[in-house]
């Protein structure tokens, strides 16, 4: 006879894993810690094997626990979506989207607006993060869908959304640097694909460099570049006012393209599938860049292009 896992216990397991604390899960779900402990014990009895092990003062999933956790996320998502469809929900269905900070101002709002019209009442959880973290979260079932950057030719990583050039950017008033001086760089802290590519390109060309500023914040990077702290590397998508492309002007090495890819968990719910389809449509409309515009040497032309709501 097949086991019928307890839905409330599965939900507790997922919340505890997401919060990284079953004590916090108890508070979040309005239950006592003893009630949560009983639910976890019940899951282990139903599974017939240990699902958790002690790690310091907390619990972490065993290998079997990780397997059940991945299924639990999908079971709960489908349960909640069915409840919404039948008007019998006590908690809204939920989909979880991850993306890099580059797309928070245009792709995300447009995507959410269209999704809310197609799926009213469905809760969307949005997380902005680094590429490697977003990929890990999709693989672990913590995210349904994620947009992330990968090196060109990364065919094993999701579906290709767009291919964009990586370019060197400086503040509008930044003067050309003497080539004998180290290039001051404003970059994400490690690990970062843009950072890695920039340093490798400079090393190959024998250009000295120094880290002028590092930060985990994209707005922080643009603020530092605009203030003249140094040069950064990004794609030409949504470049802020007061910043210009300087690769040719500063005789900096040409950089390769980078791919924007869409990562999806296995067995997406219908709502998550709709969100995936909408993202693909929005990216096609907002992130496409004609080849003739990829590497313009004229700072004026680039500055004018980047002031448009979307690159076209």
For residues 214 and 262, state if they share a domain.
no
pLDDT band at 56 (very low <50, low <70, confident <90, very high): confident
For residues 12 and 43, state if they share a domain.
yes
* Residue 210 in domain: yes
> What is the pLDDT at residue 24?
81
Q: What is the reported pTM?
A: 0.67
* Residue 304 in domain: no
69-127 pLDDT, tens per residue?
888 888 888 887 777 776 655 455 678 899 999 999 899 999 999 999 988 878 888 98
DSSP 3-state of 226: helix
> Mind giving me the DSSP string for 154-211?
-TTSSEEEEEEE-EEEEETTPPPPPTTSPEEEEEEPSS-HHHHHHHHHHHHTT--EEE
Q: Looking at the 3D structure of the chain, how many domains does it have?
A: 3
Per-residue b or e along 173-187, where b marks 16 or more CB atoms closer than 10 Å to that residue's CB: ebeebeeeeebbbbb
> What is the pLDDT at residue 93?
64
Residue 129 has pLDDT above 90, yes or no: no
* Residue 303 in domain: no
Domain ranges, residue 130: 92-164+256-293
Residue 304 has pLDDT above 70, yes or no: no
Domain boundary among 91, 115, 136: 91
Mean pLDDT of 243-254: 94
Q: Among positive and negative, which fits the CA dihedral 167, 168, 173, 179?
A: negative
**CATH number of the domain where residue 187 is located:** 3.40.190.10
* Residue 300 in domain: no
Peptide bond connecting 263 to the previous residue in cis, omega within 30 degrees of 0: no
């Amino acid at each position: 006879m097949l086991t019928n896992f307890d839905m409330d216990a599965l939900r507790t397991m997922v919340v505890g894993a997401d919060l990284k604390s079953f004590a916090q899960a108890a508070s979040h779900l309005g239950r006592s810690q003893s009630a949560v402990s009983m639910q976890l014990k019940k899951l282990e009895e139903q599974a017939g094997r240990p699902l958790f092990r002690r790690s310091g003062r907390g619990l972490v999933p065993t290998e079997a626990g990780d397997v059940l956790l991945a299924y639990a996320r999908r079971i709960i998502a489908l349960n909640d979506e069915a409840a919404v469809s039948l008007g019998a929900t006590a908690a809204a269905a939920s989909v979880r989207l991850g993306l890099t900070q580059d797309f928070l101002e245009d792709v995300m709002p447009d995507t959410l607006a269209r999704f809310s019209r197609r799926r009213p009442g469905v809760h969307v959880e949005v997380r902005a993060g680094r590429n490697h973290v977003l990929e890990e979260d999709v693989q672990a079932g913590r995210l349904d869908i994620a947009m992330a950057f990968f090196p060109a030719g990364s065919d094993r990583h999701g579906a290709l959304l767009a291919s964009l050039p990586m370019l060197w950017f400086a503040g509008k008033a930044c003067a050309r640097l003497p080539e004998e001086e180290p290039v001051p760089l404003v970059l994400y802290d490690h690990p970062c694909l843009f950072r890695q590519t920039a340093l490798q390109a400079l090393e190959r060309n024998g250009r000295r460099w120094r880290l002028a500023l590092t930060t985990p914040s994209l707005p922080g990077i643009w603020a530092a570049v605009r203030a003249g702290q140094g040069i950064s590397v990004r794609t030409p998508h949504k470049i802020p006012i007061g910043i210009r492309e300087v690769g040719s002007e500063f005789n900096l090495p040409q950089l390769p393209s980078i791919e924007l890819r869409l990562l999806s968990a296995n067995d997406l719910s219908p709502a998550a599938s709709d969100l995936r389809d909408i993202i693909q449509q929005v990216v096609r409309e907002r992130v496409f860049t004609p080849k003739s515009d990829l590497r313009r040497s004229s700072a004026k032309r680039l500055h004018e292009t980047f002031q448009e709501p979307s690159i076209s």
